[in-house]
Chains A and B, each alone.
Chain A
Amino acid sequence: MPASSLAVTDVVAGYNSTPVLNGVSITARPATITAVLGANGAGKTTLLRTISGFVRTRGGQVRLDDVSLTRLAPDHIARAGVAHVPEGQGVITELTVEENLKLGLLLRRRADRAAALEDAYRKFSILADRRRRHAATLSGGERQMLVIARALLSAPRVLLLDEPSLGLAPKVVAQVMDLVRQLRDESGLTVLLVEQNARSALSIADQGVVLNLGKVVATAAAGELAADVALRRHYLGF
């Protein structure tokens, strides 16, 4: 399957009367990782929620290749191939670990499911050991791992990761990042990665975008952003 691009154009969106995003444009080229950076409250999570349809756009467009996702329902967008790993949540605690993972599999072809599940258990052996347990009994990091694994199991074309490192051990973070990179290179996955740790995010990303107060203040290749001292000082704090 050819890799997909995600284009966000002049998006205006928010929760109440005042919009949180004021005309945000980001283009994620096929098979690239785009780091989305910015201070707390800049609108990063809102951006991802808008792309996946949980926040309604009031202006602008979201396109996956040449299909418009603007104002589609979240489930529709998910079926179109956008997987969203929300910020520190998303596990269904009443289901077992395996059932949570199977939810991801439902988006795949029936024939691939069993092999994909085994593959996921190989990559996330912690989950394999706990497959029959209720997700409520998982630790915070294990839950995060479960949500990431589930998103990957749905064989997405675009992956939206909202602070995936939250609560994960550095070693596991590295492992997840390696996996993301590998999926980009081998399966052409396009990734939007929201991270607080700008330095490490930029180190694996192809492109970086800095949000501030609901606007894009910088878009550049990851290396350039990391090298821009003034921008780093001002917005990224390293």
Chain B
Amino acid sequence: MQEFVEFTLGGVSDGVIYAAIGLSLVLIWRATRVLNYAQGGLAMFTSYIALMVINATGNYWLGFVVALAAGLVIGGVVERVVIRPAAGKPHLNTVIVTIGLLILVEGLAGIIYGSKNRSFPTPYSIVGAKIGSFDLGEGASPSAIFTAVAVLAAAGLLAVLFRYTPVGLRMRASAFSGTVAQLMGVRVGRITTLGWALAGLIGALAGMLVTPQTFLYPNSMDSIFVLGFTAAVIGGLDSPGGAIVGGLILGVLLNYVTGYVGSNLPELAGLALLILVLMFRPSGLFASTATRQV
């Protein structure tokens, strides 16, 4: 029982990270129909920026804010500088451009910061909570709770933005039909940049939250990215809620497999889950039901 609770909580706290990466991928996918393979790499880069700020000032929260701001700016700049010029070229070119970007930022991080592992601070303790003698594990540590709250709050704010604000309506309209959005006077280009910028922010948040566990090095976000991507695919790339659910399912499953079966198997379990879900729902669990009429 204690193990089960521990694994579940640990899974949730891992899962929200995958969810955050997945969410940032969904934002970009909806805005441009592009999968940004550099999303993890950019989050790694903003984490380096944060670490510089934290080391220089001794203030975690300043680094946190700077990382999110950097994510916002870098996301927008990336869209303008390398993604938009690729529009209208074969779709695969954009895929390769984002892969090139990933390789570039990882190389740059290596050049600027070196490739050794650096430890990364957390704002709260990572010591697991206990109820009496019942150990809840690290998944219930203040740090893990902060992680979950931060991701869910970000997701909630995005949901409010999408559903209840004019800019959210413009974003959704542009995502579903750029032509109609333009017809209604929406500056689709700006909205697209905004989508990438917000995705950069969410990615930076995920980087700040996960890096204390992975340490920081140029490839530190690679495996997190793969799992976040998997979460988004499981949930359905058009569905922000799907990314959250996909991330949680994946996080909990991987923790059960690691805990109960074997520490080498989580990736295989993830693959099995992904294939299984996609066999029945080829566009993810929450594929938009408003199918187009042909």
CB under 8 Å from chain A, chain B span 147-193: 166, 169-170, 172-173, 176-177, 179-188
How close is B30's CB to chain A, nearest CB, in angstroms? 10
Chain B residues within an 8 Å CB radius of A150: 184
How close is B77's CB to chain A, nearest CB, in angstroms? 22
A160-176 toward B: CB 8 Å interface, digit per residue (1/0)?
00000000000000000
User: Which range contains the number of B residues in contact with the other chain?
Assistant: 20 to 34
Residue from the list A74, A75, A90, A95 in contact with B172, Cβ < 8 A:
A95
Q: Which residue of B lies closest to A150 (CB)?
A: B184
The answer to whether A74 and B292 touch across the interface, beta carbons within 8 angstroms, is: no
CB within 8 Å: A-B pair count: 72
Q: Which residue of A lies closest to B190 (CB)?
A: A75
The answer to whether B182 and A78 touch across the interface, beta carbons within 8 angstroms, is: yes
Q: Give how many A residues have a beta carbon under 8 Å from the other chain's beta carbons.
A: 26
A61 within 8 A of B: no
A73 to B173, CA, bound (A): 17
The answer to whether B169 and A102 touch across the interface, beta carbons within 8 angstroms, is: yes
Residue from the list B169, B183, B290, B293 in contact with A78, Cβ < 8 A:
B183
Could you say which of B173, B181, B292 has the most chain A C-beta atoms within 10 Å of its C-beta?
B173
Residue from the list B169, B179, B292 in contact with A103, Cβ < 8 A:
B169
A5 to B290, CA, bound (A): 40
A67 to B294, CA, bound (A): 39
B291 within 8 A of A: yes
The answer to whether A78 and B172 touch across the interface, beta carbons within 8 angstroms, is: no
The answer to whether A92 and B177 touch across the interface, beta carbons within 8 angstroms, is: yes
The answer to whether B183 and A74 touch across the interface, beta carbons within 8 angstroms, is: yes
Can you report 17 A-B residue pairs in the complex whose CB atoms are below 8 A from each other?
A74-B183, A75-B187, A78-B183, A78-B185, A79-B185, A84-B183, A94-B176, A94-B290, A95-B169, A95-B172, A99-B169, A99-B173, A102-B166, A103-B173, A103-B184, A106-B169, A107-B184
Q: Please list the residues of chain B having a beta carbon within 8 angstroms of any beta carbon in chain A.
A: 166, 169-170, 172-173, 176-177, 179-188, 288, 290-293
Q: Please list the residues of chain A having a beta carbon within 8 angstroms of any beta carbon in chain B.
A: 52, 54, 73-76, 78-79, 84, 86, 90-95, 99, 102-104, 106-107, 134, 136, 150, 154
| 18 further interface pairs, Cβ-Cβ under 8 Å (given A75-B183, A93-B290, A95-B173) | A54-B179, A73-B182, A74-B179, A75-B181, A75-B184, A75-B187, A84-B183, A94-B172, A94-B288, A95-B172, A99-B173, A103-B169, A103-B181, A104-B184, A106-B170, A106-B184, A106-B185, A106-B186
